[in-house]
Amino acid sequence: MLVLTRKVNQSIMIGEGVEVVVLDVRGEQVRLGIKAPDDVKVHRKEIFEAIKTSNEDAASVDPSDIPT
Protein backbone atom coordinates (compact mmCIF):
# COMPACT_ATOMS: atom_id res chain seq x y z
CA MET A 1 0.00 0.00 0.00
CA LEU A 2 1.31 3.42 -0.90
CA VAL A 3 1.05 5.86 2.00
CA LEU A 4 0.88 9.58 1.29
CA THR A 5 0.23 12.52 3.54
CA ARG A 6 -1.88 15.39 2.24
CA LYS A 7 -3.17 18.66 3.60
CA VAL A 8 -6.62 20.06 2.95
CA ASN A 9 -7.06 20.95 -0.74
CA GLN A 10 -4.20 18.73 -1.83
CA SER A 11 -4.88 15.88 -4.25
CA ILE A 12 -3.78 12.42 -5.20
CA MET A 13 -3.88 11.11 -8.77
CA ILE A 14 -4.63 7.44 -9.32
CA GLY A 15 -3.60 6.57 -12.83
CA GLU A 16 -4.32 9.47 -15.13
CA GLY A 17 -8.06 9.46 -14.78
CA VAL A 18 -8.84 9.44 -11.07
CA GLU A 19 -8.26 12.29 -8.66
CA VAL A 20 -8.89 12.23 -4.91
CA VAL A 21 -8.82 15.58 -3.13
CA VAL A 22 -8.98 16.24 0.62
CA LEU A 23 -11.82 18.76 1.03
CA ASP A 24 -11.77 19.21 4.75
CA VAL A 25 -10.82 17.55 8.00
CA ARG A 26 -12.91 17.83 11.15
CA GLY A 27 -11.70 15.81 14.09
CA GLU A 28 -11.85 12.17 13.00
CA GLN A 29 -13.72 12.82 9.78
CA VAL A 30 -12.02 13.47 6.50
CA ARG A 31 -14.16 14.67 3.60
CA LEU A 32 -12.84 13.52 0.23
CA GLY A 33 -13.78 14.55 -3.28
CA ILE A 34 -13.34 12.05 -6.08
CA LYS A 35 -13.17 12.84 -9.76
CA ALA A 36 -13.34 9.74 -11.90
CA PRO A 37 -14.53 8.77 -15.37
CA ASP A 38 -18.03 7.32 -15.71
CA ASP A 39 -16.83 3.77 -16.09
CA VAL A 40 -15.07 3.75 -12.73
CA LYS A 41 -17.34 2.92 -9.80
CA VAL A 42 -16.67 4.87 -6.62
CA HIS A 43 -18.33 3.81 -3.37
CA ARG A 44 -17.67 3.56 0.34
CA LYS A 45 -15.85 0.31 0.88
CA GLU A 46 -18.42 -1.03 3.36
CA ILE A 47 -21.27 -0.96 0.88
CA PHE A 48 -19.14 -2.54 -1.80
CA GLU A 49 -18.06 -5.34 0.54
CA ALA A 50 -21.60 -5.88 1.84
CA ILE A 51 -23.03 -6.28 -1.66
CA LYS A 52 -20.17 -8.51 -2.72
CA THR A 53 -20.74 -10.80 0.28
CA SER A 54 -24.47 -10.79 -0.31
CA ASN A 55 -23.92 -11.75 -3.97
CA GLU A 56 -21.67 -14.61 -2.90
CA ASP A 57 -24.33 -15.90 -0.50
CA ALA A 58 -27.01 -15.46 -3.12
CA ALA A 59 -25.05 -17.54 -5.61
CA SER A 60 -25.64 -20.61 -3.47
CA VAL A 61 -29.41 -20.35 -3.02
CA ASP A 62 -30.97 -23.76 -3.40
CA PRO A 63 -34.05 -24.03 -5.65
CA SER A 64 -35.76 -26.19 -3.03
CA ASP A 65 -35.75 -23.27 -0.56
CA ILE A 66 -37.81 -20.99 -2.79
CA PRO A 67 -41.29 -20.26 -1.42
CA THR A 68 -44.00 -21.47 -3.82
Partner 1 sequence: MIEERKELKTRVGVIEFGSDDVLNFPDGLLGFPDQKRFVLVQHKENSPFRWLLSIDDTNLAFLVVDPAEYVTDYAPPMPKRASDALRLDHTTPMLVYTIVTIPSGHPEDMTLNLAGPVVVNCEAGLGRQIVLDDEAYPVRHRAFAQSGEGKAA
DSSP 28: T
Cβ-contact 22, 10 below 8 angstroms: yes
Cβ-contact 42, 36 below 8 angstroms: yes
Site string for partner 1, 32-61 (x = CB under 8 A): ------xx-x-xx--xx-xxxxxxxxxxxx
Which residue type, as a one-letter code, is found at position 23? L
CB of 18 to partner 1, least distance (A): 14
* Closer Cβ to partner 1, 5 or 68, answer by number: 68
Q: Which parts of this chain interact with partner 1 (CB under 8 A)?
A: 38-39, 41, 43-44, 47-48, 50-63, 65-68
